[in-house]
Structure 1
Amino acid sequence: MTQPLRYAINVTLDGCVHHEAGLPPDAESMAFWTDELRRSGTLLYGRVTYELMQGAWRRPESGEWPEWMDASEVAFSEVMDPMRKVVASRSLDVVDWNAELIRGDVVEAVRALKERSGRGIALGGVQLPAALAAHGLIDEYTFVVHPVIAGRGPRLLDGIRDQMTLELVEQRSFGSGASMRRYRPVR
């Protein structure tokens, strides 16, 4: 049995997935994202997302979390920081932060990763998920839809050419007005 590859991301009503688009995080949304991390044993990112997440959520060398973090952000960081990370990149030579680097055929590398034992793989980012979705490798999609029209920025799963049919398996509303929708591909 393969471990599931789960893609989860914040998205605006117009499909923008830029990390600064949407509503600012609050305690409720951070608790949701912390629980999402706990569903998996491995994080899978491309270079851009890896560097973004590392810059924001890696424990500083001092061991103390920055003052700007509230309790919900510290809880998120404490789950993410020690997790195993896999980074798909053609431009990086080395990675750290409990990470391993995959190069070459990312589709085959992810197929092999899914065959390893584990609770699941949490996938983040923009370009890598689109490439993996095009090959039918994503087992679950979770979108937190923000009631915002961004008007610019990278778009959700941009570049997918073939239609994909998804089945809604869970939904939830947040006090902020955002809503979570979880889907599985109909195969």
Structure 2
Amino acid sequence: MPQPLRYGINVSLDGCVHHEAGLPPDAESMAFWTDELRRSDTLLYGRVTYELMQGAWRRPTSGRWPEWMDPSEVAFADVMDPMRKVVASTGLDAVNWNAELLRGNVVDAVRRLKDQPGRGISLGGVRLPVALAAAGLIDEYTFVVHPVIAGRGPRLLDGVGLTLELIERREFRSGVAVQRYRPAPTSVGDPR
């Protein structure tokens, strides 16, 4: 059985997914994202998200996390840093940080990746998930909805039509709501 591909992202009430559009992370949301990472053993990103995450969460050459990081951020970084990363990019010639490049047709390559043994693949980003959702490859969607109207920026899965089935909902003290979905049998591109 293929390992699950899980897409998780922060999103504003108006559907914006720009990484600066939500509330600043707090200990509760960082603990949530840390637990989400632990559900998978592979991270799948496009170039932009990979470079963003590497800049924020890669262990410095000194071996010590920066002093500005609070304990919840250190816990997140401690889980993310050693994880396997797979990067879908036509613009990069090489990657590091426990990463490998995904070559060829991205949909076919992700199908092969899902067929490898593992606990799951955690997908992040904005553009790559659009292609994978349209192909029916995403098994679970986790939207961390912030009580913010961004008014600008890229939109969540812009151009993809899906019908989703709610499987979990919870709220944080900050007003953030986590909504977890799986594709409904009637979804566009759903292989069931």
> TM class, shorter-chain normalised?
over 0.9
Q: Any idea what SS the aligned residue of 1:73 has?
A: helix
Q: CA deviation at 1:159?
A: 2.2
Q: Aligned equivalents of 1:42 and 1:12: distance in 2?
A: 26
| Aligned counterpart, 2:120 | 120
| Aligned counterpart, 1:183 | 181
| Aligned counterpart, 2:169 | 171
| Aligned counterpart, 2:189 | none
Q: CA deviation at 1:139?
A: 0.2
Q: Which amino acid aligns with 1:71?
A: P
User: Are residue 13 (structure 1) and residue 48 (structure 2) matched?
Assistant: no
Q: Which runs of 4+ in 1 moved over 6 A?
A: none
Q: Aligned equivalents of 1:61 and 1:172: distance in 2?
A: 38
Q: Any idea what SS the aligned residue of 1:67 has?
A: coil
Q: CA deviation at 1:73?
A: 0.1
User: Are residue 34 (structure 1) and residue 34 (structure 2) matched?
Assistant: yes
| Aligned counterpart, 2:135 | 135
Structure 1 gaps of 5+ residues are none
Q: CA deviation at 1:165?
A: 1.1
Q: Deviations over 1:49-83 (max 9, x none)?
A: 00000000000000010111000000000000000
Q: Which amino acid aligns with 1:135?
A: A
Q: Any idea what SS the aligned residue of 1:143 has?
A: strand
Q: Which amino acid aligns with 1:44?
A: L
Q: State the superposition RMSD in angstroms.
A: 0.5
Q: Aligned equivalents of 2:36 and 2:166: distance in 1?
A: 17
Q: Which amino acid aligns with 1:50?
A: Y
Q: Deviations over 1:77-101 (max 9, x none)?
A: 0000000000000000000000010
Structure 2 gaps of 5+ residues are 186-192
Q: Aligned equivalents of 2:105 and 2:74: distance in 1?
A: 35
Write the mapping of 1:22-101 to structure 2, written as runs, cut at 5 A.
22-101=22-101
Q: Which amino acid aligns with 1:75?
A: A
**Number of paired residues?**
185
Q: CA deviation at 1:133?
A: 0.2
TM-score (normalizing by structure 1): 0.98
TM-score (normalizing by structure 2): 0.95
Q: Aligned equivalents of 2:67 and 2:157: distance in 1?
A: 35
Q: Aligned equivalents of 1:11 and 1:119: distance in 2?
A: 25
Q: Aligned equivalents of 1:143 and 1:158: distance in 2?
A: 14
